[in-house]
A and B are shown apart, each in its own frame.
Chain A
């Protein structure tokens, strides 16, 4: 069954801005799905429409077979949302926020109390249950919103930039938690600016730009489309000029650091053997940017250039 099915979704705001120009998207039950795009691409508008926070201009959305035009409340009962911005009552206690949200989804009081404890413990907030939410740290507030979204154990969890502004340790622990939730059967849709996060967690990906889906594939399939990667090589001894590497675009960023662009048809072995012949020793190597990020930037840039050409 499709956890989410979107057909021909359009949105034009009152000021005339067309945020979505006809989106088609399917997310299978049990998937871990990334929805990526630059700022203003239409990600949050899409999520807003699914959650009825934004009124669509056209098209159809259904969640586990429940059309949002005909069965909005049943559709919403299947979803948990972790929004981009803090949107709980900052003057409430942590525990109260979770228990109230459980009530809004129809959980009887006793079950609401049990679930609130379960998810506050899982997200390491149980010790803070009596704290007024305003005084939590940024990372704790994010985790509180995840606990709140999970308290009714939704079949579909939508996270809109859940790790924005949290440190790497908390981000990694959130990843591990989300993986375990997904392994238990919850479908997850994630938007994020950290492309490493999407590559690490998600099995399918859609890239949205200018209100249109420009890529919709498996993560592996998308990565395979990456025709070229840039590697950063750290050299043991400094050199003044880039070594001769015919067929490769190479440049020095400083005496110890060489950047080389390598296409799919080329080989790293070839580069290493040429460098060895020149007496240049490489001590370490890394991708200049995350692979998905590279692809993302190329896609968005090429679309931008095509748009400029058209204009």
Chain B
């Protein structure tokens, strides 16, 4: 057999099995520490629904033509997906760097683009699992229609890819555990809260509404909400273009950083 063809076949097998192994490992990690991964989003969502949905929401009435509890439900699900996708990758990759076991993958015949893909897929997996958990919690409080199931799936996948890559980016540069909590606390959480989870941006003063359109999370939350309720503050094509552009650009940046050895190689 031609040596080059055999080499290509060997690498294809290594990459397929390597990716499966990364996924199995990430799934095992998410399930093993379920008390840290799956339970907190359920508790948080329950509290939001009790406080903002039942107690305060009853006084608010409707928003965007829907009961307030129904209106915030997609945003709350998306909020959990964003923070868990991000958190999974930042903690898993930084933990591997900190404990030096990232070297297990760096010395293995796995290209950097695949290592990034493996971690990002782990983040997406956790985002999906948490999304399912929070959706189940939601159903205890309200019934939400699903107008466009494909839009729901597409917006969840794209959003969790973007924030998994964000977590990876943070972990590449982080030198200690403080630096992996800084970005979620001071940047991510404010952007989520100001991204239209709890309100329609049309309620804001015009300057604040215009400013909101610079927040990428606004497009994610609205695309997702449109999938459920069929209502959105933003143009859907533009929303998906923003998400896809962010995903592609961040993947390219992260793989380039890995190839340069930033944060991982001497």
Q: Given A53-B266, A54-B266, A103-B24, A74 and B110 touching (CB < 8 A)?
A: no
A108 proximal to B (CB < 8 A) = yes
B265 proximal to A (CB < 8 A) = yes
Tell me the bound Cα distance from A85 to B20 in angstroms.
27
Q: Which residues of B lie under 8 Å from residue A55 when comparing CB positions?
A: 261, 265-266
Q: How far does the Cβ of A271 sit from chain B's closest Cβ, in whole Å?
A: 51
B175 proximal to A (CB < 8 A) = no
Q: Which residues of A lie under 8 Å from residue B7 when comparing CB positions?
A: 71, 74
User: Interface size (B, Cβ < 8 Å)?
Assistant: 31
Q: Is the interface of A mostly helix, strand, loop or mixed?
A: loop
Tell me the bound Cα distance from A105 to B20 in angstroms.
11
B105 proximal to A (CB < 8 A) = yes
Q: How far does the Cβ of B14 sit from chain A's closest Cβ, in whole Å?
A: 3
Q: Which residues of B lie under 8 Å from residue A96 when comparing CB positions?
A: 28
Q: Which residues of B lie under 8 Å from residue A72 when comparing CB positions?
A: 109
A194 proximal to B (CB < 8 A) = no
Tell me the bound Cα distance from A87 to B108 in angstroms.
13
Q: Is A104 within 8 A of B104, CB to CB?
A: yes
B101 proximal to A (CB < 8 A) = yes
Q: Is A76 within 8 A of B266, CB to CB?
A: no
Q: Which residues of B lie under 8 Å from residue A54 when comparing CB positions?
A: 265-266
Q: Which residues of B lie under 8 Å from residue A83 when comparing CB positions?
A: 103
Among B13, B18, B99, the residue within 8 A (CB) of A104 is B18
Q: Is B99 within 8 A of A105, CB to CB?
A: no
Please name the residue on chain A nearest to B111 by beta carbon.
A73
Q: How far does the Cβ of B97 sit from chain A's closest Cβ, in whole Å?
A: 11
Q: Is B266 within 8 A of A106, CB to CB?
A: no
Q: Which residues of A lie under 8 Å from residue B16 when comparing CB positions?
A: 106
A51 proximal to B (CB < 8 A) = yes
Q: Which residues of B lie under 8 Å from residue A107 when comparing CB positions?
A: 17
B100 proximal to A (CB < 8 A) = yes
Please name the residue on chain B nearest to A104 by beta carbon.
B108
Among B13, B28, B101, B265, the residue within 8 A (CB) of A87 is B101
Q: Which residues of B lie under 8 Å from residue A90 when comparing CB positions?
A: 99
B188 proximal to A (CB < 8 A) = no
B25 proximal to A (CB < 8 A) = yes
Q: How far does the Cβ of B44 sit from chain A's closest Cβ, in whole Å?
A: 25
A305 proximal to B (CB < 8 A) = no
Q: Is A53 within 8 A of B265, CB to CB?
A: yes
Q: How far does the Cβ of B73 sit from chain A's closest Cβ, in whole Å?
A: 36
Q: Given A71-B7, A73-B109, A77-B10, A87 and B103 touching (CB < 8 A)?
A: yes
Please name the residue on chain A nearest to B107 by beta carbon.
A51
B106 proximal to A (CB < 8 A) = yes
Q: How far does the Cβ of B188 sit from chain A's closest Cβ, in whole Å?
A: 26
Tell me the bound Cα distance from A109 to B10 in angstroms.
16
B21 proximal to A (CB < 8 A) = yes
Tell me the bound Cα distance from A73 to B20 in angstroms.
18
Q: Is the interface of B mostly helix, strand, loop or mixed?
A: helix
Q: Is A101 within 8 A of B104, CB to CB?
A: yes
Which of B21, B106, B108, B111 counts the most A-chain CB atoms under 10 A from its CB? B108
Please name the residue on chain A nearest to B8 by beta carbon.
A74
Q: 0/1 per residue, B10-33, Cβ < 8 Å to A?
A: 110111111011101100100000
Q: Which residues of A lie under 8 Å from residue B111 when comparing CB positions?
A: 73
A89 proximal to B (CB < 8 A) = yes
B194 proximal to A (CB < 8 A) = no
Q: How far does the Cβ of B262 sit from chain A's closest Cβ, in whole Å?
A: 11
Q: Which residues of B lie under 8 Å from residue A74 when comparing CB positions?
A: 7, 10-11, 109
Q: Which residues of B lie under 8 Å from residue A51 when comparing CB positions?
A: 106-107
Q: Which residues of A lie under 8 Å from residue B18 when comparing CB positions?
A: 103-106
Among A48, A89, A100, the residue within 8 A (CB) of B266 is A48
Tell me the bound Cα distance from A52 to B111 in angstroms.
11
Q: Is A100 within 8 A of B25, CB to CB?
A: yes
Q: Which residues of A lie under 8 Å from residue B22 when comparing CB positions?
A: 103
Tell me the bound Cα distance from A306 to B8 in angstroms.
51
Tell me the bound Cα distance from A105 to B101 in angstroms.
15
Contacts from A to B (Cβ < 8 Å): 13, 48, 51-55, 71-74, 76-77, 79, 81, 83, 85-90, 96, 100-101, 103-109, 148
- A sample of 14 more A-B contacts (CB under 8 A), given A52-B265, A86-B100, is A51-B107, A53-B106, A73-B109, A76-B109, A85-B100, A87-B99, A87-B104, A88-B104, A89-B96, A103-B17, A104-B108, A106-B15, A106-B17, A109-B17
Q: List 20 A-B contacts (CB under 8 A).
A: A52-B107, A52-B265, A53-B107, A54-B265, A55-B265, A72-B109, A73-B109, A74-B10, A77-B10, A87-B100, A87-B103, A87-B104, A89-B104, A96-B28, A103-B17, A103-B21, A104-B18, A105-B18, A105-B109, A109-B17
